[in-house]
């Protein structure tokens, strides 16, 4: 098997290093091989404004066909509740997958690491729920830490 040796060039205007892999110039991706296939580490971000009530479902933040290793969050506007002292983070069918007993105060944070990488096969929202009582208001910034596969280039 013969593999193409990458040739690189730095683009000062975009402050980006590019490599010629296979058949075209690409922004450098250390996990990429010459045929274009890659398995990239990506972080997806979303700010969610809490809606009054019990559970809250975010917009779809986890993309189809990725592998999630963690979900992190930061309270960016204090969470006001009607009786709850903390909240859980997960997805439909696994409401506590990414942890529980997270704080309500400004700058409280969540680090929900999966016990093993979790694959998702359709776009998926996060589910947050007060541990008792109900949400009144607040805002949380989410980050989904995932690996995203890219297939080899078309021929």
* Domain locations along the chain: 7-34, 41-150
**Residue 143 contacts residue 43 (beta carbons within 8 Å):** yes
Reported as a single tens digit per residue, the pLDDT across 28-75 is: 655 656 677 888 888 999 999 999 999 999 999 999 999 999 999 999
What is the 8-class DSSP label of residue 102?
B
Q: CA-CA distance, 90 to 127, in Å (whole number)? A: 5
Average pLDDT score over the chain: 88
Mean pLDDT for the stretch of residues 138-154: 93
Cα 114 from Cα 98, distance rounded (Å): 7
- Dist CA 143 CA 43 (whole Å): 6
The residue-averaged pLDDT of 8-35 equals: 67
**Structure confidence at residue 2 (pLDDT):** 38
Q: Looking at residue 4, what is its pLDDT?
A: 45
Q: How far apart are CA 46 and CA 15, in angstroms?
A: 26
CATH of 41-150, one of 1.20.1250.20, 3.40.50.2300, 2.60.120.220, 3.30.1780.10: 2.60.120.220
User: Is 1 a residue whose pLDDT tops 50?
Assistant: no
Selected residue with higher pLDDT from 100 and 21: 100
């Amino acid at each position: 098997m013969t593999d193409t040796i990458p040739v690189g060039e730095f683009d000062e205007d975009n402050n980006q290093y590019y490599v010629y892999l296979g058949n075209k110039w690409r922004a450098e991706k250390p996990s990429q091989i010459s045929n274009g296939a890659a398995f990239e580490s990506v972080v997806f971000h979303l700010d969610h404004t809490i809606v009054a009530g019990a559970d809250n479902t975010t917009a779809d933040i986890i993309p189809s066909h990725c592998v999630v290793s963690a979900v992190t969050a930061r309270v960016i506007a204090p969470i006001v509740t009607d009786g709850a002292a903390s909240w859980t983070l997960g997805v439909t069918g696994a409401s506590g997958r990414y942890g529980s007993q997270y704080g309500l105060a400004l700058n409280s944070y969540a680090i929900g690491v999966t016990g093993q990488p979790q694959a998702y096969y359709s776009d998926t929202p996060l589910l947050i729920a007060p541990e008792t009582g109900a949400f009144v208001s607040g805002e949380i910034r989410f980050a989904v830490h995932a690996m995203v596969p890219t297939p080899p280039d078309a021929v």
